Structure 1
Amino acid sequence: MGIMPKFKNVEVLKELQKGYRTIENGIIRILQRAGEQFVIDARDGMKISPSAFPKGDYENQTANLRSSVGYFVLKDGIIIDNMIEGTAEGIAAGRALLGTIPNKTGYQLIGVAGMDYASHVESKGYNVITSQADVALVNINRLLNKFKDRMNKKGAHVDFDMDNLVLTTTR
């Protein structure tokens, strides 16, 4: 007389897939939330230390630069969520910049300021997305650690590679 399971392998697989989807959905929500805040802060010209960016906020003469600010959440190189709104030229520039970023395996949050003069504006002492990128990294780290603790309390072992999670760039 041996031990006989009262479950089927299919049932175990179904539960594992359910757990995987819970973790995946949590990661995606965290990246969406950080991306949305990144865009809001960049468009509102988040006030930061005058010593870091002594000139303060830049003029938004054409609205193209702020329109080119957006985020993309990718899984294995495929866009699963994004937010980029405004002028047609700004949106096109933000989307075009995404095409220059190498695809990676796993999840990515990519924040962009796609107009070709974004880095020039920053080099003049104005903030376009640099400080927002730093804030997004801190927020993601905090939210992922909180999520990891919550999942680990439920019995799932979850860990993250923060070195490859976020890439933020300007043209």
Structure 2
Amino acid sequence: MAVIKPNFTKADISKMLADRVKLIESAIILSLQRVGEEFVRDCRERGSYQDRTGNLRSSTGYVILQNGQQIFGSGFDQIKEGKDGATAGKKLIEGLKTQFPTGFVLIGVAGMNYAAFVETKGLDVITGSSITAMESLKKALARLNKKI
């Protein structure tokens, strides 16, 4: 009777699996980052409102969370005199982060308190960009899922 002996150990298998998990996590983060950047760009370029002070556009940004910890964020750059907008966007994000303690999360916001009011007037502040971001994210995750 022949005895088959493996050329690897349990530790080798654990390391290979851990490396694979890191690779998949990196791909997820890059996908979320790309979608987040597109979201901010679209909000700022496609917004169908007149932003007199720059606050509304300055209040747009995003963060990526992994198990409740921020691992990346962007946006909230001051446009025109929009310092208050940048501050409001960052403050809103801080409040939302605590609601997502597990998994990977992409949060995109327009942080000015009147953003929803502007949208009720039929103007696009964040809705169109959010829909586009969701579609892009679904496609990116489907591509990633095929590679796994």
Q: Give the TM-score, by structure 1 length.
A: 0.78
Gaps of 5+ in 2: none
Q: Amino acid of the residue matched to residue 72 of structure 1? A: V
1:93 to 88, 108, 112: 88
Secondary structure, aligned partner of 1:96: helix
Task: Tell whether 2:12 aligns with 1:11.
Answer: yes
Match runs of 1:117-156 below 5 Å: 117-151=114-148
Is 1:75–2:70 an aligned residue pair? no
2 CA distance for matches of 1:32 and 1:10? 33
Q: Distance in 1 between matches of 2:86 and 2:119?
A: 19
Moved over 2 A (4+): 1-5
CA contact (8 A) 2:61 2:73 kept: yes
Structure with greater helix percent: 2
Q: What is the percentage of aligned positions where both structures have the same residue?
A: 38
**In 2, Cα distance between equivalents of 1:136 and 1:104:** 22
Measured in 2, the distance between the counterparts of 1:4 and 1:91 equals 62
* AA of the residue aligned to 1:116: N
Does the Cα contact within 8 Å between 2:62 and 2:93 map onto a contact in 1? no
Distance 1:77 1:91 in 2: 22
Partner of 2:21: 20
Question: Structure 2-normalised TM-score?
Answer: 0.89
Amino acid at match of 1:111: G
- CA deviation profile, 1:95-142 (whole Å, cap 9, x unmatched): 111133212310111110001111111111110000110110010001
Aligned residue-pair number? 141
SS at match of 2:71: strand
